[in-house]
Structure 1
Amino acid sequence: MHIMFVCTGNICRSPMGELLLTKYLAGTTIRVSSAGTHGLPMHQMDPSSATLMQSVGIEPSGFRSRRLTQDMARSADLILCFEKDQRKDIVTLAPTAVRYTFLLGDFANMCEYCARNGLVKGLTIQERLQSVIDASSIIRPMLPEPADIEDPHGKEYGKFRIAAEQTNKALRTILTSMRKHYRVEEAPVRPQITSQYAYTV
């Protein structure tokens, strides 16, 4: 399975999503990548995003941004973006991607809904994620309208921290929902963040 994060410039939000999920899925065969609808090819990650990644033991120096192409979008099995307009841009570029392109928060809500209602199927995490993708058109109308994760580019460090926390919370909701022994009585997932904004894997 190939999971791709897409934001606008591929230097702030989607790199954090890529690096965090890569760390969470270490040891699996899932491939994680990222790109930007208006990506700045070969640019390094924004310094504020890089600092946040370093605070959790992730080395960001090797990251380079990419501009999303039709072939990239078609190569993915799941595309997670951060704003409604980005989703429109993605499916305009690659119309067949409409079936597997979601706002990050929306997909997290879908995963939690499926877990709570016994709709997650499969033995591997790849199969279980795919079962949510397959059910998305049916369950989407039952869920609240998803919120964008605001672009922190050019803003103060606190805005980057908020974007990182929102991204991390969604990722942990997705992964908790994919557990084979998910318990309905579990409390909602919250990002576990220290005073240094470290994310607990």
Structure 2
Amino acid sequence: MHIMFVCTGNICRSPMGELLLTRYLAGTTVQVSSAGTRGLPMHHIDPSSGRLMDSVGIESSGFRSRRLTRRMAESADLILCFEKEQRKDIVTLAPTAIRYTFLLNEFANMCEYCAQNGLVHGLTIQERLQSVIESSQIIRPLIPEPTNIEDPHGKEFAKFRVAADQTNAAIRKILTSMRKHYRVNEAPARPQLLSPRFAA
């Protein structure tokens, strides 16, 4: 399974999503990547996002941004974005991706709903996530309206911490829901990653 995080510039939010989920799923065969709808190719991660990743022991210096292409979107099995407008941009670029493109908070709520209602199926995390994707059209009206994770680009460091906390919380909700049937690999830094807030 290939999971892709997509934000606007691919330097603030989606890199954090990619790096966090990669750490959480260490030891699995899930591929995680990221891109931006208006991405700046080969740009470094924003220093504030990099600082937050460093604070939980994730090496971010090698990250380079990418601009989303139709081929990238069509190669993914699950696309997680941060704003409603980004979802529109993604499905305009790659119409077939509409079936597996969600706001991050939306998909987290779907995973939780499916777990609570016995709708998560499969032996592997890939199969379980796919079962949520396949149920998404039915359960979308049953979950709360998803909220955006605001873009911290050009803002004070505190805004980056908020975006990191919200991204981490949504990822935790997804993996906790899947962990009802699957134990996510516990990497050494997991206690830090699961802390309520990132370090200053």
Structure 1: distance between partners of 2:155 and 2:195: 24
Q: Look up the match of 2:189.
A: none
Where 2:80 maps in the other structure, the secondary structure is strand
Q: Look up the match of 1:91.
A: 91
Structure 2: distance between partners of 1:2 and 1:194: 28
Q: Look up the match of 1:47.
A: 47
Q: Look up the match of 1:7.
A: 7
Q: Does 1:149 align with 2:152?
A: no
Q: Look up the match of 1:125.
A: 125
Structure 1 112/74 Cα, relative in aligned 2: closer, same or farther at 3 Å? same
Matches within 5 A, 1:52-201: 52-181=52-181, 191-193=194-196, 196=199
Structure 2: distance between partners of 1:71 and 1:194: 36
Percent pairwise identity? 79
Specify the code of the residue in structure 2 equivalent to 1:111. Answer: C
Specify the code of the residue in structure 1 equivalent to 2:196. Answer: I
Structure 1: distance between partners of 2:49 and 2:150: 14
What is the aligned-residue RMSD (CA, Å)?
1.4
Specify the code of the residue in structure 1 equivalent to 2:103. Answer: L
- For these two proteins, the number of residue pairs brought into alignment is 190
Q: Look up the match of 1:19.
A: 19
Structure 1 119/88 Cα, relative in aligned 2: closer, same or farther at 3 Å? same
> Where do 5+ consecutive residues of structure 2 fail to align?
183-193
> Where do 5+ consecutive residues of structure 1 fail to align?
183-190
Structure 2: distance between partners of 1:195 and 1:72: 30
Deviations 1:110-142 (Å, cap 9, x if unpaired)?
000000000000010000000000000000001
Shift of 1:144: 1.2
Where 2:27 maps in the other structure, the secondary structure is coil
Specify the code of the residue in structure 2 equivalent to 1:97. Answer: A
Shift of 1:180: 3.6
The list of structure 1 runs, each at least 4 consecutive aligned residues, that deviate by more than 4 angstroms after superposition, is none
Structure 1 68/195 Cα, relative in aligned 2: closer, same or farther at 3 Å? closer
- Which structure's relative contact order is higher, taking Cα pairs within 8 Å and 6+ residues apart? 2
